[in-house]
Amino acid sequence: MKQSQLFTRTKKESPADEVSLNAELLIRAGFINKEMAGVYSYLPLGLRVLKKIESIIREEMDNIGGTEMRTSVIQNKEVWEKSNRWDDEVVDNWFKTKLKNGTEVGLSFTNEEAYSNILKHYINSYKDLPIYPYDFKNIFRNEARSKSGILRGREFYWKALYSFSKDEKEHNEFYEKAKEAYKNIFKRAGIGHLTYLTFASGGSFSKFSHEFQTITSAGEDTIYVDENKGIAINKEVYNDEVLESLGVKKDDLVENKAVEVGNIFSLGTKFSAPFDLKYKDENGEEKLVIMGSYGIGLGRLMGTVVEVLSDDKGIIWPESIAPFKVHLLLLGGDENVKNEAGGLYNKLKEKNIEVLFDDRSDISAGEKFADSDLIGIPYRIVISKRSLADGGYEVKKRTESSGKIINIDELISLLETKN
């Protein structure tokens, strides 16, 4: 894409009321627009990142047998009364509204009820199980405060998968697969090295749930990390009994602030019971389905990457979710240089290497460098009279402090290498 055609521009300042690092950088770099606290629109660059995260998650979910669908945002009161989660005394972050005829409806804040209600139509026999449906959709949570940028939105894009299994054994097998899929997701999104499988409270159906917590000072949670074992314990369940049951020693733990980038949860029959979600087993006996839930907020994941991987110049995107792989900077107005840059741009596009081409003519070299650092695309390529005189193009990774001149063959070979 040519930058002259990208309508967003970088800004020196973010809105005065924006206190989070992730939103500040993302707004200044032109990835998102703040509509109000906790509500953001995704501009072209931001949507590109969000879609790459979505693709990674989709691949991992399909890989463990997931089937994608899409539940509605508007939710039926009667459905939620079955599980006793309609009442605002029970769930305090509903957004509710009314149909013209006065009927109250809610906006999805999670999906257990919607899925249980739909699957009720389709589960009869043991032959119908297991099932692993999931969706990507906008979720709405009426947070009292919302000061963490896209880490905690009132409206946010998320993935939720629910597992419907015949028994604990089948459930546990899938649960372990989901754990691995989640590890893959965070690894592929570039934050695997800072993300820990964390034991958290499990509700009435299992001793623990599992959170994936990424260490960052922007996090709202406190976790105790055992580096050697590669696991952590959420403060909410941190006590001697739990430490013992996990075989963890107090002295091996380090306290950290962290943000929950995903969670997986054994639900047992918590929802299948009120929805009467039963199947007939091989002997014709009726049994309740065993459920699990597996969620990831895509905006939160994106915001976490920004929090943990940025530097004082701007964002540093991992290649896997960067809006483009290459930021091509044309410096100066020399016709020959322009032609070289245009030619390289076309060549990269031909090779399906995603490139943002800063072809703007009214911007200084210094401004182009600053913009490029702020936007955070992994590879910066500079074409100028000097680079051509020196034998080619100056290439620099966003994480490197200085570049080097290479020729076209070296450049293509570098960019075509899979990481």
Query: Least distance from C-beta 132 to a second copy, angstroms?
Result: 9
Q: Are 148 and 24 in contact (CB under 8 A)?
A: no
Contact pattern for a second copy over residues 20 through 49, marking x by CB under 8 A: -------------x-xx--xxxxxx-xx--
Indicate whether 154 belongs to the interface with a second copy (CB under 8 A): yes
For the CA atoms of 215, 220, 223, 225, the dihedral, rounded to the nearest 10 degrees, stands at 10
Stretch that binds a second copy, among 112-120, 234-242, 330-338, 346-354 (CB under 8 A): 112-120
Dist CA 234 CA 210 (whole Å): 9
Q: What DSSP designation does 23 have?
A: H
Question: Tokens 């692993």 map to which residue?
Answer: 132
Indicate whether 242 belongs to the interface with a second copy (CB under 8 A): no
- Between helix 21-28 and helix 298-309 the angle, nearest 10°, is 90
Indicate whether 144 belongs to the interface with a second copy (CB under 8 A): yes
Stretch that binds a second copy, among 60-68, 193-201, 286-294, 332-340 (CB under 8 A): 60-68
Query: Least distance from C-beta 225 to a second copy, angstroms?
Result: 33
Cis status, amide bond into 378, omega within 30 of 0: no
Stretch that binds a second copy, among 63-71, 169-177, 287-295, 403-411 (CB under 8 A): 63-71
Q: Which helix (H) or strand (E) segment is 209 a member of?
A: strand 208-215
Indicate whether 95 belongs to the interface with a second copy (CB under 8 A): yes
Dist CA 171 CA 166 (whole Å): 7
Bridge-based pairing of strands 231-234 and 195-201 is parallel
Indicate whether 222 belongs to the interface with a second copy (CB under 8 A): no
Nearest to a second copy of 86, 199 (CB atom): 86
Residue 319 backbone phi and psi in degrees, to 5: -60, -35
Dist CA 294 CA 157 (whole Å): 14
Query: Least distance from C-beta 214 to a second copy, angstroms?
Result: 24
Angle at 179 between CA 216 and CA 142, to 5 degrees: 55
Indicate whether 150 belongs to the interface with a second copy (CB under 8 A): no
Question: Tokens 């009820």 map to which residue?
Answer: 113
CA 14 to chain CA mean position, Å: 22
Q: Which of 19, 69, 254, 365 binds a second copy (CB under 8 A)?
A: 69
User: How many residues in the shown chain lie near a second copy by CB under 8 A?
Assistant: 60
Query: Least distance from C-beta 61 to a second copy, angstroms?
Result: 13
Query: Least distance from C-beta 389 to a second copy, angstroms?
Result: 30
Question: Tokens 């020399």 map to which residue?
Answer: 334
Q: Which of 12, 70, 250, 418 binds a second copy (CB under 8 A)?
A: 70
Q: Which of 83, 110, 142, 269 binds a second copy (CB under 8 A)?
A: 142
Nearest to a second copy of 292, 392 (CB atom): 292
- Between helix 168-188 and helix 44-63 the angle, nearest 10°, is 140
Indicate whether 107 belongs to the interface with a second copy (CB under 8 A): yes
Q: Taking the CB of residue 68, how many other CB atoms lie within 10 A of it?
A: 13
Q: Which of 63, 72, 245, 399 binds a second copy (CB under 8 A)?
A: 72
Q: Which of 63, 122, 230, 386 binds a second copy (CB under 8 A)?
A: 122
Q: Which of 16, 17, 99, 417 binds a second copy (CB under 8 A)?
A: 99
The sign of the dihedral angle between the CA atoms of 96, 99, 105, 108 is negative
Contacts of 176 (CB under 8 A, 6+ apart): none
Nearest to a second copy of 162, 208 (CB atom): 162
Bridge-based pairing of strands 278-280 and 286-288 is antiparallel
Nearest to a second copy of 66, 295 (CB atom): 66
Query: Least distance from C-beta 97 to a second copy, angstroms?
Result: 5
Q: Are 280 and 161 in contact (CB under 8 A)?
A: no
Indicate whether 118 belongs to the interface with a second copy (CB under 8 A): yes
The DSSP-derived string for 214-249 is EE-TT-SEEEEEETTTTEEEEGGG-SHHHHHHHT--
3-state secondary structure of 292: strand
Q: Which of 49, 53, 114, 395 binds a second copy (CB under 8 A)?
A: 114
Indicate whether 9 belongs to the interface with a second copy (CB under 8 A): yes
Indicate whether 240 belongs to the interface with a second copy (CB under 8 A): no
Indicate whether 143 belongs to the interface with a second copy (CB under 8 A): yes
Residue 280 backbone phi and psi in degrees, to 5: -90, 125
* Interacting residues with a second copy (CB under 8 A): 4-9, 11, 33, 35-36, 39-44, 46-47, 50, 65, 67-76, 79, 95-101, 103, 105, 107, 114, 118-119, 121-123, 127-128, 131, 133, 137-138, 140, 142-144, 154-155, 362
